[in-house]
Amino acid sequence: MGVNNNVLGLIFASLHDSTVVELTKQRTMGSIMFGGRYRLIDFPLSNMVNSGITEVGVITKSNYGSLLDHLGTGREWDLARKKGGLNLLPPFSQSNGDGVYRGRLEALNNVWSYVQNSKCEYVVLSDCDYVANVNFAKVIDKHIETGADITVVYGKYKYSEDSGLCVDVLEMDDEGRIQSVLIDPQISGEVKICLDMYVMRKDFLSKLVKDAASRNQYSLIRDCLQARVKENVFMGYEFDGYFSRIDSVRSYYNANMALLNSDNRNALFKPNAPIYTKIGDNGPVKYGLESKAANSLIADGCIIEGTVENSILFRGVKVGKGSVVRGCVLMQGTTIGDNCSLTSVITDKNVEMENGRVLTGSESYPLYIGKNAKI
């Protein structure tokens, strides 16, 4: 892994918050818990670090307390550095704008002096709604090789009734040049969808941001990619690895459950490109007398005395004696008493359930229990 000193990473932690209102009530999209011990921002952030990027700015909007707590100085991502490193860019952190923004270009205008001060030549932009292990170094290489104005990372995606995703679809010619961009179209069959990750030169981005500001525009996809597809050269870069998208409670549930498949897990958690996260200093998982666990992903600090099947358990979850947990996503600190039964339930952080309670959702409509709820 070389060092990409001339690349700045920019992560939008708060875009798409409105797609999963339940989960972002008290946090940003980037700080949604995922996969047992991660938060969504860990994926783009680790991808950048694993691609040799040593300077990353994280743009937020509101509810960013948990994000600040999670990222800290950036040490766990090796970004606590004198040169570059991690910078959190909450609204009002710069004097350029009024803090509120409607899209990527407006958000960037607000923090432009930070971007301007970076000595980087290229920028990598990423949102937090796609979970994937992407090597940006390869995207950057391709970008330089083709001389494109913007390189857009896309994935092949087969539309199906129960996926229910709202996606942006790219249409390309044989050389990979983007010909048109369709925002949330009616689709069927296999399409190429934009994974919300972009590479471009900083000076090109600068022009986009200033142009948009002067025309009261804000959307990178609509006001730039879609509008200027003929005058500029936008190239697609195919990411052919595993990805999932979170844009509803249901897709959040499905994306977590998809980790019970070992191919998906191995594609996401690679020993040579690990996903870093904040360390919790929990003990190992403790399995009690008569505990049963099958087909589950279980993070450290859990204490299991009952039965857990087809579930994702985050750090420090307790499952009492005689309780049965099936098809559930139990976030950090959930405490299930004795003789409870949970089927297809998502519990947010620190939910407590007294002995003998029964909760049942369905796979296509999982039951979501909010943070700190007592049942």
Residue 44, φ and ψ in degrees, nearest 5:
-60, -35
Give 158 or 292: the residue with its C-beta nearer to another protein.
292
**In the β-sheet with 292-294, what is the strand arrangement from edge to edge?**
292-294, 307-309, 324-326, 341-343, 358-360
Cα distances (Å, whole numbers) of residue 185 to 182, 188, 206, 331: 6, 10, 29, 34
Task: List the Cα angle 214/217/222 in 5-degree steps.
Answer: 140
Give 96 or 282: the residue with its C-beta nearer to another protein.
282
Stretch that binds another protein, among 82-90, 148-156, 189-197, 308-316 (CB under 8 A): 308-316
Give 130 or 154: the residue with its C-beta nearer to another protein.
130
Chosen residue from 93, 135, 206, 291 binding another protein by CB under 8 A: 291
Alpha helix positions (H), 154-248: 202-214, 220
Residues 6+ away with beta carbon under 8 Å from 147: 233
Residues 310-349, one symbol each (x = binds another protein by CB under 8 A, - = not), give --xx------------------------------------
Quote the least distance from Cβ 371 to another protein, whole Å: 18
Cα distances (Å, whole numbers) of residue 235 to 154, 156, 225, 232: 10, 15, 10, 10
Q: Does 1 bind another protein (CB under 8 A)?
A: no
Size of the site for another protein (CB under 8 A): 39
DSSP state of 183: E
Q: Does 276 bind another protein (CB under 8 A)?
A: yes
Q: Does 274 bind another protein (CB under 8 A)?
A: yes
Give 204 or 269: the residue with its C-beta nearer to another protein.
269
Chosen residue from 166, 290, 358, 374 binding another protein by CB under 8 A: 290
Stretch that binds another protein, among 21-29, 156-164, 205-213, 296-304 (CB under 8 A): 296-304
CA distance 365 to 273: 34
Quote the least distance from Cβ 241 to another protein, whole Å: 16
> Residues 2 to 61: which contact another protein by CB under 8 A?
35-37
Q: Residue 374: is it exposed, middle or buried by C-beta count within 10 angstroms (0-12/13-18/19+)?
A: exposed
Q: Does 94 bind another protein (CB under 8 A)?
A: no
Q: Does 81 bind another protein (CB under 8 A)?
A: no
Chosen residue from 151, 296, 334, 341 binding another protein by CB under 8 A: 296
Position of tokens 């689709």? Answer: 187
CA distance 246 to 15: 12
Chosen residue from 288, 354, 360, 374 binding another protein by CB under 8 A: 288
CA distance 366 to 344: 5
How long is the chain? 375
Give 181 or 346: the residue with its C-beta nearer to another protein.
346
Q: Does 258 bind another protein (CB under 8 A)?
A: no
Stretch that binds another protein, among 100-108, 112-120, 175-183, 273-281 (CB under 8 A): 273-281
Q: Under a CB-based contact definition with an 8 Å cutoff, are residues 99 and 86 in contact?
A: no
Q: Which residues pair with 271 in a beta bridge?
A: none
Q: Does 272 bind another protein (CB under 8 A)?
A: no
Q: Does 286 bind another protein (CB under 8 A)?
A: yes
Q: Under a CB-based contact definition with an 8 Å cutoff, are residues 127 and 60 in contact?
A: no
The rounded Cα 178 to chain-centroid distance in angstroms is 24
Give 230 or 279: the residue with its C-beta nearer to another protein.
279
Quote the least distance from Cβ 17 to another protein, whole Å: 26
Q: Does 277 bind another protein (CB under 8 A)?
A: yes
Chosen residue from 94, 163, 282, 350 binding another protein by CB under 8 A: 282
Q: How many CB atoms within 10 Å of residue 49? A: 24
Q: Which residues pair with 155 in a beta bridge?
A: 193
- Note the residues at the interface with another protein (CB under 8 A): 35-37, 75, 260, 262, 265, 268-269, 274-277, 279, 281-301, 303, 308, 312-313
